[in-house]
Amino acid sequence: MNVRATVGSIPFIDLGAQRRRLGARMDEAMLRGVAHGVFIMGPEVGTVESKLAAFCGAAEVISCASGTDALALVLMAKGVRPGEAILCPSFTFAATAEAVAWLGATAVFVDVDADTFNMALDSLKAGLATARQAGLMPVRSIPVDLFGQPADYDAIIAFANENGLWVWADAAQSFGATYRDRSVGTMGLATATSFFPAKPLGCYGDGGAIFTSEAELAAVLRSLRVHGQGADRYDNVRIGMNGRLDTLQAAVLIEKLAIFPDEIAARNRIAARYATALGEVTIVPRVGDGSTSVWAQYTLRIPDGKRSAIAEVLNRRGIPTAIYYPKPLHQQTAYRHYPVAGNGLPVSDTLAGEVLSLAMHHYLEPDVQDLLVEAAHDALR
Ligand SMILES: *Cc1c(COP(=O)(O)O)cnc(C)c1O
């Protein structure tokens, strides 16, 4: 790649490079789907579900139309209703709490850990007390694996078991990661993920999946995703939704899943280079002990109010940056009426003012990354 030609036009995420690598194989996979014409629940849907199950070791995989639907379907399957509290982090994408709100339940926002950006156990404990004081019961919990690394599941699940909570995971950003030798998709009651194009494993549109080890839950989820169907299409045994994964998206995912392990390795190499080069000038992300990340984002922390100046310097040099997330959910217009754990969420508030994400995708070339690192190093020094 001609490095000079990329200056000023370095993409934050480069899906084109992957497209070129997949080439004719992807074209043929999609054309096969067009030719057989079973666009809804075609054979590729079952195939990708088995391949996803084999990939992460989950007993049951239910593909669906998006990560948001995956979250909502689990809540629907468990009969979540008004008066119930769902504890979830505030420092996340809105969909986590949105699905809770759809069901009329109450999101109770908890704080995150400053090192891992994931749900903090202390705040989860405080959030449970807050929920009980507010008269909300029973309570469940959704840890989010933010920026690609799993939450601290052993600690969260142990606490949940002691307190009668259910745990399911919003792993929209972390499919492909591991926690203490377990794959994302095998922890808690169920795991929801997203195949939005910019996620580590994305399709060519919207898509998602749910993973669980419980056959009964899986059967309910399969019914819910097709309008609550029973014995056949015109037998409706519960209120569901149209939440299916398109056949063509399944075809895309089959091809992408085949190269995903290789891409995860590439993302980790890129993250390691960032850490080595920038660790001395700013706060680089830390992956928890025993965890691996798929680096949905590579997110620095730039304290002391210097973030916007640094971002401006970088952007002037053609280095793309992004802020995930500038406003935690408990500060958002749509969500600020929900309770927060304890006396507020200081870490989420601080992170929102400090985080800055750098370009991260499987095909970030070493010479292009050198340019990024050099510019970031200069700006941060
Ligand atoms: C992307 C994302 C979602 C939603 O996924 P969609 O497929 O876009 O609906 C939910 N939660 C988190 C944390 C996400 O990053």
pLDDT band of 358, cuts 50, 70, 90: very high
**Would the CB of 285 count as within 6 Å of ligand 1?**
no
* CA atoms of 79 and 373, how far apart (whole Å): 48
* CA atoms of 19 and 261, how far apart (whole Å): 16
**Would the CB of 67 count as within 6 Å of ligand 1?**
yes
Q: Is 104 left (phi over 0), alpha (psi -120 to 50) or beta?
A: left
Report the length, in residues, of the chain.
Answer: 381
pLDDT at 343: 87
Distance 232 CA to ligand 1 centre (A): 31
Task: Decide: helix, strand or coil at residue 240.
Answer: coil
Give the strand pairing for 178-179 and 291-292. antiparallel
What average pLDDT does the segment 82-110 reach? 96
**Would the CB of 206 count as within 6 Å of ligand 1?**
yes
pTM score: 0.95
Nearest residue to 65 via CA among 192, 254, 216, 173: 192
Query: Is the pLDDT assigned to residue 99 strictly greater than 90?
Result: yes
311-342 pLDDT, tens per residue?
A: 999 999 999 999 999 999 999 999 999 999 99
Q: Whose CA is nearest to atom 10 of ligand 1?
A: 95
**CA angle (171 as vertex; 224, 250 as ends), nearest 5:** 60
Q: Whose CA is nearest to atom 6 of ligand 1?
A: 67
Query: Is the pLDDT assigned to residue 302 strictly greater than 90?
Result: yes
129-166 pLDDT, tens per residue?
A: 999 999 998 888 899 999 999 999 999 999 999 999 99
Residue linked to tokens 């950003």: 173
Residues of 29-43 as b/e, b for ≥16 C-beta within 10 angstroms?
bbeebeeeeeeebbe
170-181 pLDDT, tens per residue?
A: 999 999 999 999
The mean pLDDT value of the chain amounts to 95
**Would the CB of 208 count as within 6 Å of ligand 1?**
yes
Position 6, amino acid: T
Nearest residue to 138 via CA among 83, 217, 189: 83
Distance 325 CA to ligand 1 centre (A): 13
Which atom of ligand 1 is closest in space to residue 173's alpha carbon?
Answer: 15
Q: Whose CA is nearest to atom 5 of ligand 1?
A: 67
Of 75, 196, 249, 325, best ligand 1 pocket probe by most atoms within 8 Å of the beta carbon: 196
What average pLDDT does the segment 285-312 reach? 95
Of 68, 184, 245, 360, best ligand 1 pocket probe by most atoms within 8 Å of the beta carbon: 68
> What are the structure tokens assigned to 233, written together?
């299409």
**Would the CB of 178 count as within 6 Å of ligand 1?**
no
**Would the CB of 172 count as within 6 Å of ligand 1?**
yes
5-59 pLDDT, tens per residue?
A: 344 578 899 889 999 999 999 999 999 999 999 999 999 999 999 999 999 999 9
Which atom of ligand 1 is closest in space to residue 70's alpha carbon?
Answer: 9
User: What is the arrangement of strands in the sheet containing 190-194, beginning at the earlier edge strand?
Assistant: 60-64, 208-212, 190-194, 166-170, 139-141, 85-89, 106-110
